[in-house]
Amino acid sequence: MVAQPHRLAGGREITLPFSKAVEISISNLKIRFGRSLITTSGVILAIAFLMSVWSSNAIVEELRAANKSEINLLLQKNGIDTGLTDAGHASAEAAARMREEKSKQTWLITLSLLVCVVGIANAMLMSVTERFREIGTMKCLGALDSFIVRLFLLESTFQGSAGTAVGIVIGFLLTLFLALLDYGTYVFRYFPTAGILRSALAALVVGTLLSLVGAMLPAYRAAKMEPVAAMRSDT
């Protein structure tokens, strides 16, 4: 008689509670803190760059909107078109210059974020290769592919969102400092609170998504590892 296993089962299935998965992935990050820090620094840099571009745009926008002659003077000194130039053709030229500037910015941001994703994927792939025995063992203990995927995605997401948070703070503070040098306390008088918060939130989403995307292929590779890998005795 060939019985199916679920008929032999005590009825209960195989599970990995979310809280347990969180616990495992956090301790995984802790034990490899140095390595996590290096991976995370990539995220920090990329997000700091993104945040500084966004927040300096927001600050400048707000100052331009204030439309005060002394501020406009400062803006023009920093090469920013205030939209108040006397000659119409000069203004069009300035607008074109700004558009070009904008697209260059977008290009730079895209590039830096791409480099960041590749960095995350690379680090996670290394981590997967290194942990073949651990992954194999988990599978021998009854872990499903989805458990392994969940662990790696969680790990990368935690790492990514922590890095993103730090990046946001660094990027913002740096921009604020530079803006203070350029425009003095006008920055505080016309502070774009809503714009900065919106940028921070967007950056948080972008950073977390990037870490998730970067970890997808490695997590899939890990999940497809055979349990027999646990038996390998080399390395």
Partner 1 sequence: MTEERRTVVRTQNVKKLYHMGNVEVHALRGVNVEIFAGEYLSIMGPSGSGKSTFFNMVGGLDKPSEGKVYIDEVDVAQLDAYELAWLRCRKIGYIFQSFNLIPVMTALENVTLPMVFAGLTSDEARDKGMELLKKVGLAERHSHKPYELSGGQQQRVAVARALANDPAVVLADEPTANLDLRTGTEIIELLRAMNETSGVTVISATHDHKMLSVSDRVVWVKDGRVDHIANRQELQIEITKVAGE
The reply to whether 184 sits near partner 1 by the rule CB under 8 A is no
Stretches 45-53, 77-85, 104-112, 140-148: which one binds partner 1 (CB under 8 A)?
Answer: 140-148
Closest CA to 215 of 158, 166, 130, 163: 158
Question: Could you tell me the smallest distance in angstroms from the CB atom of residue 24 to partner 1?
Answer: 7
Contact assessment for residue 208 and residue 167, using Cβ atoms and an 8 Å cutoff: no
Cα–Cα distance, 139 to 145 (Å, whole number): 8
The correct pick among 18, 27, 61, 188 for binding partner 1 (CB under 8 A) is 27
The reply to whether 197 sits near partner 1 by the rule CB under 8 A is no
The correct pick among 18, 22, 24, 184 for binding partner 1 (CB under 8 A) is 24
Question: Could you tell me the smallest distance in angstroms from the CB atom of residue 11 to partner 1?
Answer: 9
| One-letter amino acid of 167 | G
Token output for 166: 């730090």
> How much of the chain is in helix, strand and coil states, percent to nearest 5?
80, 0, 20
Question: Could you tell me the smallest distance in angstroms from the CB atom of residue 4 to partner 1?
Answer: 7
C-beta of 4 vs 185, nearer to partner 1: 4
The correct pick among 140, 197, 201, 217 for binding partner 1 (CB under 8 A) is 140
Cα–Cα distance, 212 to 159 (Å, whole number): 10
The correct pick among 3, 69, 86, 89 for binding partner 1 (CB under 8 A) is 3
The reply to whether 117 sits near partner 1 by the rule CB under 8 A is no
- Total residues contacting partner 1 by CB under 8 A comes to 40
Kindly report the CA angle at 90 between 84 and 92, in degrees rounded to 5?
Answer: 90
Contact assessment for residue 44 and residue 167, using Cβ atoms and an 8 Å cutoff: yes
Residue 180 burial by Cβ neighbours in a 10 Å radius (0-12, 13-18, 19+): middle
The correct pick among 37, 92, 115, 141 for binding partner 1 (CB under 8 A) is 141
The reply to whether 147 sits near partner 1 by the rule CB under 8 A is yes
Rounded to 5 degrees, φ, ψ at 142 are 110, 10
Which residues contact partner 1 (rule: CB under 8 A)? Answer: 1-6, 8-10, 12-17, 20, 24, 27-28, 30-31, 133-134, 136-145, 147, 226-228, 230-231, 233
